[in-house]
Structure 1
C-alpha cells in the first residue's frame, strides 16, 4: 500500500488540553463553592462553625442564611428548643422501700454556650449527661423521704428534684424548663399493706359511725320516754282537775271516726256506742 498520499489529522496542542482541563476544574470549583458557601439555620436552631485551620469558632449564628468558606468551614446545627425526656429509676426510700420513679424533664442547650457544649459533650449531649445526673439526683432525693411522704408530699418531692437537677444540669450548660414525676410505683408487698391499712381505717370509721348512731338512738329513746311520761302526767293531772277532759277527748275521737267513715266509699254500720254519740249520758253523769 502507498501511504505517501494519506493525510494524518492534526492533534491539538498541549496548551489547548491544559486550557480545557483548567476551565473544567474552575467550573467544578465554582459549582462546589456556590453550593457550599451558603447554609441556612432554620427556626428554633442555632449554628456554630468548625474551621479546619482554627477549630470551633466561638461565635453562635442565629436563624437565617449565612456564609461559610467552602471546604475550610463546616456549619454544625443545634436544635435549641425544649425537648422532653422520660427516664425511669429505681431508688430506695428512707424506710427501705424500693420505689420505681418515672421522671419527665424538658431540656434545651444554652445557646450562648454551644461552642463549649460541642467541645466537651458533642452533639448528643442529652444522652451523655442526663441519665447519669437524673439517676443520681433521684436516689439522693428519694432517700430523704419515707414511702408515705412520697405519696402525700409528691409536689414537694418534685420541687426538690427540680432544684437539685437544675443546678447539676447548669454545670453542663443545659437548661431545664420543667421537671415532673410521671410515675411513682412501690413493690407489691408495700402496695398490699397500704390497701390493708386503708381498709382497716374504713372499717374503723364505719364502727365509729355505728357507735355514734347507737348513742344518738339511745338519747332519742330517753327523750321520747321522758316526753311520753310528761304527757301522761299532764293528762292525768288534767283528768283529776277536770273530769270533762275525758268527754272532750271522746268528742274529738268521734269526730275523727265520723270523718273517716264519711270519706269511705264503703257502707259502714256502727252502733251509737261505737260512734260515741251517746253523749247525753256524759252530760247526765256530769250533773250527778
Structure 2
C-alpha cells in the first residue's frame, strides 16, 4: 500500500513537473518570435535600450524575456482639435481643426523612445493649439475670414515644424470651422448690409446714367434724322427749281422755233413801223 501511494505521488509530481516544463516551453516558444502586421512596425528594446532599426511586417525571431517589441501603427490616422485663440484685433475665435497624419516608420523608434505611444495627446493636439494661436494673432478677425487659405497654410506650416522632428507627417490639414463672438458676427452682418445698400445705389446710379446717355443718343439720332430730312427736301426743291428753269427755257426755245419772221405792226404818235418784208426795210412814222 505504501509503495503504491509513493508511486502515485511520484507520478503526480512527475506530471506536474512535465506540465511546468511544457508550459515553460510554450512561453519560451511564443516569446521567441513576433509577428508584425501590415501597417505597423516593431520597435525593439533590449534591457530597455531601444534599437534604431524597426521591425518591418512579417515573422521575426527574438530573444525571449530580454527583448521587448512595441508595435507602432504607421497607417494614416485622424485627429480633431478645437483650439481657441485671439485675433490681432483681440477678437476671440474658436475653431475646429482636422489633421490626417501618419508616423514615419524609420522614426518610430525615436518617437517611442522620446514620447511613447500617446503621441497624439502629448505632441499633436498641443502643437495644433500653439500653431492656431500663433497664426491667428497675425491677422484681424475679418482677415481670418477673407484670407482663410493663407491662415490655413500658415497653421499647417507651423504644425509641420512642431511635429516633424518626431517623425509625424501631415497628409491633410483642414480648418472645418471658425466661430466668432456674437458682437463680431453682428458687426459683420451690419457691414455686409451697408455694402449691399451701397452696391445697389451704385447700380441704380449706373442705370440712370446709362438711360440718360441713351436719351442723348436717341435725341442726337432724331436731330440727325431731321437734318437729313431737311437736306433731302432742300435738295429736292433745288432739283425741281432747276427742272422748272430748264422747262421755261425750253418753252422760249419752242416759241422761237415756231416764229414765222413777221413782226407785229405797232401804231402810235411817234412810234416807227418797221416793215421787213423786203430785202431792205423801210421805216415810216405813223401819223
- Provide TM-score, normalisation by structure 2: 0.72
Which structure 2 residue ranges, 5 or more long, are not aligned? 238-287
2:205 maps to 211
1:176 maps to 170
Shift of 1:15: 6.2
1:44 maps to 39
| Contact 1:48/1:56 (8 A) holds in 2 | no
1:23 maps to 18
Describe the superposition over 1:145-181 as per-residue Cα deviations: whole angstroms up to 9, x where unpaired.
Answer: 1122222222222221122111111233322233222
1:274 maps to none
| Contact 2:41/2:105 (8 A) holds in 1 | yes
1:134 to 120, 128, 139: 128
Matched residues in 2 for 1:60 and 1:195: separation? 56
1:55 and 2:45 aligned? no
Matched residues in 2 for 1:21 and 1:226: separation? 121
| Contact 2:80/2:97 (8 A) holds in 1 | yes
Greater CA deviation, 123-132 or 218-227? 218-227
CA RMSD of aligned residues (A): 2.7
1:75 and 2:86 aligned? no
Secondary structure of the structure 1 residue equivalent to 2:83: strand
Shift of 1:235: 4.0
Describe the superposition over 1:194-241 as per-residue Cα deviations: whole angstroms up to 9, x where unpaired.
Answer: 222222222222212222222222222233333334434554555566
| Residue-pair matches, total | 237
Matched residues in 2 for 1:242 and 1:20: separation? 142
Secondary structure of the structure 2 residue equivalent to 1:10: helix
Secondary structure of the structure 1 residue equivalent to 2:6: coil
1:163 maps to 157
1:250 maps to none
| Contact 1:56/1:115 (8 A) holds in 2 | no
Shift of 1:135: 0.9
Secondary structure of the structure 2 residue equivalent to 1:69: coil
Matched residues in 2 for 1:97 and 1:45: separation? 44
2:101 maps to 107
Describe the superposition over 1:93-125 as per-residue Cα deviations: whole angstroms up to 9, x where unpaired.
Answer: 112221222212122233223333223222111
Shift of 1:242: 4.8
Matched residues in 1 for 2:70 and 2:86: separation? 42
Greater CA deviation, 138-147 or 195-204? 195-204
| Contact 1:48/1:57 (8 A) holds in 2 | yes
- Provide TM-score, normalisation by structure 1: 0.72
Shift of 1:40: 1.2
Matched residues in 1 for 2:222 and 2:106: separation? 90
Matched residues in 2 for 1:122 and 1:217: separation? 75
1:285 maps to none
| Contact 2:39/2:75 (8 A) holds in 1 | yes
Secondary structure of the structure 2 residue equivalent to 1:225: helix
Matched residues in 1 for 2:176 and 2:198: separation? 33
- CA 1:149–1:12 in structure 2 vs 1: closer, same or farther (change >3 Å)? same
